[in-house]
Structure 1
Amino acid sequence: MKLMEVLKVVVVVAMVMMMAVEAIWLELPNSETKCVYEDIRNNVVVLGEYIVIHADEEHVQANFIPTISVRVTSPFGNSLHHEENATYGRFAFTTSEHGNYLACFRMNSHVPGNKNAAISLQWKIGIDARDWDSIARKEKIEGVELELMKLKGLAQAVHENLLYLKKREEEMRGVSERTNGAVAWFSMMSLSICIMAAAVQIWYLKRYFRKKTLI
C-alpha cells in the first residue's frame, strides 16, 4: 500500500474517532495538577468547555462544588486562557503555531475527606468546533442538506490534513537529507584530518630518525 493511501486511512479514522469522542473525564486529587494536551497545527480553531462535577453524594446533598484553577498555554508557553476559583468555563482561540497545546487543572478548594473531584472537559478542534446550528439558521438549511454540508466540511478537513501531512513529510525529508549531507561532510573532514595527522607523524618520525642517524 502506498504511503498516501495509508495516510488517507489514518486521517479518516482519526477524524471519525475525534467526532465520536464527546468529553474527557479527569479525576483531580486535592492540591494536585493534571494536564491534558493536544498536538494541533497552526491556523486551527479550538473550542473548550469544562465543568466541575460534585465529588460524591455527600457533597451533592451539601451543595458543595470544589473550585479549580485553569490555564491553557501554547507550545511556546503563551497563556491563552486563565481562570481562578472556577467551577465552569469556556475558552476559544485560533492556533498560531504548531505543537502541543496544554490545558492544566488544579484544585483550589479543599474537598473534605481528601476525595477527588471530577472534571468534564470538551475539547473541539477544527470542523468539530463549528456551530452547525448557527450555520443551518444562517443558510436556512436542514435535514439532508445540513448533513451534506457537514460531510463537505469533513472532506475539506481531511484534504487539508493530507496537504499538511504531505508538507510535513517534505520538510522532514529535507531535514533528513541535510543531516545526511552534514554527516557525510563531517566524515570526509574527519578522514582528511586523520590522513593529514598520520602523514605529519610519518614525516616527523622520518626527520627525527635521520637526525639521529638511525636511518
Structure 2
Amino acid sequence: MEKMKTICIRCFLWCFTLMVTLLSGIATMPVSVVDSLCTATSTARYRLTFTGKWSQTAFPKQYPVYRPPAQWSPLIGVTHSSDYHIWQKNQYASNGVREFSEKGEAWTLIKEVEAAGERIQSVYGLFSTPAVLGGTGQTSVEFEVYARHNFLSFIMRIVPSPDWFIGIDSLNLCDEDHWKENISLELFPYDAGTDSGFTFSSPKFETIPQDKVTQITSSFPSHPANSFFYPRLRHLPPIAKVTLTKIKSKQIFSLPIEPTQSNQIPTGNAIDETLINTPLDCEVSAWSPWGLCKGECGDDKKKGVRYRTRYIHIKPANNGSVCPPLEEEKTCVPDNCYILLEHWDKKQDHSPHLGLTITVKDPNLEVLLMKRFGKYGKFTFTSHFSGQHFVCVKSNTTRFSVFANERLKVHLDVQMVEHTIDPSAVKAKDTIESVEFKVQHLIGQMQYISKQQNFEREREETFRQMSEVTNGNVLWWAIIQTSILLIVGFWQMRSLKNFFIKKKLV
C-alpha cells in the first residue's frame, strides 16, 4: 500500500511539472498587438485590379521592346494574419521570393506559403492572376478575407529584370469593426537583393553575400547604367497601380477583367494616368584627344585642320536635353610639311633679314620636321618612337640684318600631347575593361565558392565525426538500458517467485 502511495505521489509531481512547463511556454508565445485586431463579424470579398503603367514614355531608358518585351509575371497573393510576411522591405528575401523574382518560378514560394498555413495557421487564402504580356496591361482577381486573416500581401515580377518585382506587404483591409470599401495604391519597383544586375536584360550575376530587399528610386542604385536611374527626377513615376474594391454581399456575380497584352499606351479613361513623359537626357562620352594636323603645304595653303570626336551613350527621349556636337575642329599648322616659310605678321609679311630653321630628329636620327620661320612662328611634330629627340635651331640671319638694326629673340615652349584615339577604339577599350572587370569579379567569385566548398567539406567532416560519436553513445546507452531492464526484470521475477513461495502458493 505504501508503494502505491509513493507511485501516485511521483505521478502527481510529474504531471504538475509538465503543466508548469507548458504554461510557461504558452506565456512566452508572441501575442499580436491590439491595434492589428479586427472585430468585423462577417467575411468580406474583394476584387483586386492590377494596372500596369510601365510604358516607353514613362520609362524610356533601356525600355525592353523585344526578347522579351516589357511584361508582368503572374501575381501571387495571400491573405494572412499579422504574424506572417511573404516579403518585407529591408529584410532578406526567402528562397521562394528569390526564385520568383529571378526566374518567375512560383513553386518554392507556394510551398513556403502552404507550410506557413499548416504550421502556424497564419495564411488563409492563396490566389493568383494570369501573366500580363505587356507593360501597360490589366488583370483582376477576387479573394476573400475574414477577421483573423485581414491582411493582404502579393508579389509580381518585372519581366525582364535581374531580380526586380513590385508588390504589397501586409495591407490591412479591416478598420476596427468594418471592412474598407475602396483602396487604391501606386506601386514602385523593388530589388530582391539576390542579383547584382543593373539593367533589364543584365545576365545573371549572383549577389554574394545576399542583400536585403530595397526600393529602387530615381537615384538608387546611384549608377548611370541602372535602368531606373533618372537624375533629373526627384521621384520615379509609379510603374503600376492596384485597386481593391469590396464586393457587396447582394451582388451575385461579377465579370472578371480579361488580361490585356499591350506595350502601347491604352485608350479610354486610362490615358490620363499613363501619359507620363519622363525626360531622358542625351549622354555622350568624353572628348577624344586632338588628332593629327593635316593639310596642304605651300605659301597660299598653309593652314591645316585637326579634329576630335565623341560618341553617344544614350539618345534623348521625351523632350530631354539634345545631344551636344559630336565633332570639333580647329586650325593648325600641318605636320607633314618639312620645309615651310610662314608669315605671322599680317601687316608685314616677314623680315627679309631674320629667321630660324627648325630641325627635329627622332632617336633614329630620322628627320621629323624641318621648317624655316620668319620673325615669329611655331611648329609641331609627331613622333612614333619614345626616347631622346633632337631639336636643332639655326639662325637664318644675313649680313644685312646688322644694317637693318633688327634683333632676333628666341623663346622655346615645348608641349607634349597624345595622338587622337578613334572613338570606336575607345569604345572597344571600355568594353574590354568592362569584360576584364567582370572576369576578375568571376575569379573572385570562384575563389569564394572554392573557400565555401572547403568550409562545407570541413563542416561535413566535423558533423560526420559528431554523428559517429553520437551514434556510438546511443548504442552504448541502448545496451546499458537493455541490461538494466533485463536485470530489473530478473530481480522482479525472482522477488515474485520468493513471494509465491513464502505465501505457499507454489
* TM-score computed with the length of structure 2 as normaliser: 0.18
Largest Rg, 1 or 2: 2
Relative contact order, higher structure (CA 8 A, sep 6+) = 1
* TM-score computed with the length of structure 1 as normaliser: 0.37
Question: Which structure is higher in helix share?
Answer: 1
